[in-house]
Amino acid sequence: MATTRETAKTSPGRSPAQAPASSPPRPVTLGDAFRYWLKLGFVSFGGPAGQISMMHTELVERRRWISEHRFLHALNFTMMLPGPEAQQLATYIGWLMHGTLGGIMAGVLFVLPSLAILIALTFVYLAYGDLPVVAGILYGIKPAVTAIVVFAAWRIGSRVLRNGALWAIAAAAFVAIFALNVPFPAIVLGAGLIGFLGGRIAPDRFKTGGGHRSGDAAYGPAIIDDDTPLPACARFSWRLSWRNTLGYALIGLTLWCLIEGLLWLGYGWQGTLTQMGWFFTKAAFVAFGGAYAVLPYVYQGGVETHGWLTATQMIDGLALGETTPGPLIMVVAFVGFVGAWTKEIFGPDALLLAGIAGASVATFFTFLPSFLFILIGAPAIEATRHDLTFTAPLTGITAAVVGVIVNLAVFFAWHVLWPGATKEAPFSGPFEWFSLVLTIGALVALWRFKVGIIPVIAACALAGLGYSFMA
């Protein structure tokens, strides 16, 4: 089921997203999809909230490759999984359009540009990290990322929270994670239970879109519309499900054993790369809630247990991860690079090669399970699109995740505006007034003037650089 770029029929002065066409776009080729996913890999700033918002704008509103209902249904599923939800959403949509090859292509292209950029930035950080120009650019980018997340939280919330019940779930999730430190998996389970009960008590409030008119009416019919049948390769049946589950599981296990086995043979079980493979595999299965939910585990293992990097380096790595495209969980590539560099696994004369190997190992073992979750589970999830018993819990979970995204925006703003603060003294240290000005300016540019994400980040980086030289 493949999709080509379309030229939407618009009235004068209206964009394709504003003026719906009367017929769906023409199917696009695998090559066109490849170019889109590659582009997304280079421009997917703003963490999961920003990335999901970007995919919605491009795939639902402008290109109309997939309908709002199908997009949200896929999003609901990926929110339940451990791992990077935006990357898994891209994999799901790629699979829905072009089968297994399309899913793998979308997921890999979502990660590869980020890996290459992080490898380059981490090398610069380790070799030239004390340069004022680097610190100035990072100073300016952080407020831009904060504004992107705030804007994305508003965009997603305005589409998902269609009634008071879903607003209440989102608010409760925010309070739970912000004030009560409730673990994200517990929030997911609680929201799913509320959605399940709500689907039985008040089904109209827990349909996708909250029982209101679908947003598709504003965009026009999509290639993968609400009633578009699945291709034969994507249809669910118990016989095919067992066969596909076993097949994908065997392929995934074989790949894991092959790479980890080669590392064990080459460097022993206690070798740095071997331990990284084992550690990041475990991290992939506890990454509920995205990068920030798993960061304490990565910090404990990378800093305290294995000594791959220092606490200060971990914080700097998070800053780099926030300011590069791709999933925020790509901070694992930074940890792998610094760990292999620090341990000099290939000797003192091959530090760059060691860092590349460490970053690649960390990325491979972190993302391998994500592909298996989608390829194994997507057919069953597609088969439940019109069954409220399955969709109502997912709707509740999506509403809760909006509250979690708002918490992430607050977390970003706190660290940007009070960089010296701690949990014990949350407003200690100097207040960064210039960061506040940049954050507000970036938010106004995104919200009021519809400026693109890349120009906003570039402008903030230049402003931060200039301010750092004047301060």
pLDDT above 60 (res 212): no
Q: Of 99 and 452, which is predicted with more confidence?
A: 99
Rounded Cα–Cα distance for residues 169 and 191 (Å): 7
Check: CB of residue 463 under 8 Å from CB of residue 140: yes
Rounded Cα–Cα distance for residues 152 and 138 (Å): 21
What is the phi-psi region of residue 81: left when phi exceeds 0, alpha when psi lies from -120 to 50, beta otherwise? beta
pLDDT above 80 (res 124): yes
Using DSSP's 3-state secondary structure scheme, residue 208 falls into coil
Confidence of residue 6 (pLDDT cuts 50, 70, 90): very low
- Residue 214: closest CA among 205, 226, 200: 226
Helix (H) or strand (E) holding 371: helix 351-383
Q: Encode pLDDT of 365-391 as tens digits.
A: 999 999 998 988 877 777 666 556 666
Per-residue model confidence (pLDDT) at position 119: 95
Q: Encode pLDDT of 46-84 as tens digits.
A: 667 678 878 888 898 888 898 888 888 788 788 777 788
Check: CB of residue 356 under 8 Å from CB of residue 119: yes
Tokens encoding 185: 């998996």
All residues at 6 or more sequence positions from 348 whose CB lies less than 8 Å from its CB, including other chains: none
Domain ranges of the chain: 33-224+237-470
Confidence of residue 436 (pLDDT cuts 50, 70, 90): very high
Tokens encoding 222: 């999509």
Q: Of 324 and 373, which is predicted with more confidence?
A: 373
- Residue 206: closest CA among 67, 397, 401, 406: 397
Per-residue model confidence (pLDDT) at position 67: 86
Q: Encode pLDDT of 241-279 as tens digits.
A: 567 778 888 999 999 999 999 999 999 999 999 999 999
Least confident of 191-205, 351-365, 396-410: 396-410
pLDDT above 80 (res 227): no
Rounded Cα–Cα distance for residues 48 and 414 (Å): 19
Per-residue model confidence (pLDDT) at position 429: 82
Rounded Cα–Cα distance for residues 298 and 118 (Å): 17
- Residue 117: closest CA among 67, 44, 189: 44
Length of the chain: 471
The DSSP 8-state label assigned to residue 423 in this structure reads S
Per-residue model confidence (pLDDT) at position 406: 83
pLDDT above 90 (res 440): yes
Q: Mean pLDDT over residues 209-237, rounded?
A: 58
Long-range pairs, 150-154, Cβ under 8 A, ≥24: 150/409, 150/413, 150/443, 151/50, 151/53, 151/443, 151/446, 151/447, 152/46, 152/49, 152/50, 152/52, 152/53, 152/405, 153/49, 153/402, 153/405, 153/406, 153/408, 153/409, 154/447
Per-residue model confidence (pLDDT) at position 386: 57
- Residue 85: closest CA among 346, 370, 436, 419: 370
All residues at 6 or more sequence positions from 108 whose CB lies less than 8 Å from its CB, including other chains: none
Confidence of residue 160 (pLDDT cuts 50, 70, 90): confident
Tokens encoding 382: 């597609």
DSSP structure string for 244-311: HHHHHHHHHHHHHHHHHHHHHHHH-TTSHHHHHHHHHHHHHHS-TTSHHHHHHHHHIIIIIIS-SS-H
Place of tokens 């206690």: 270
Rounded Cα–Cα distance for residues 49 and 403 (Å): 11
**pLDDT, the chain, mean:** 81
Separation of first and last alpha carbons in the chain: 56
Q: Of 87 and 142, which is predicted with more confidence?
A: 87
Q: Mean pLDDT over residues 131-160, rounded?
A: 79
Per-residue model confidence (pLDDT) at position 209: 45
* Stated pTM of the model: 0.69
pLDDT above 60 (res 236): no
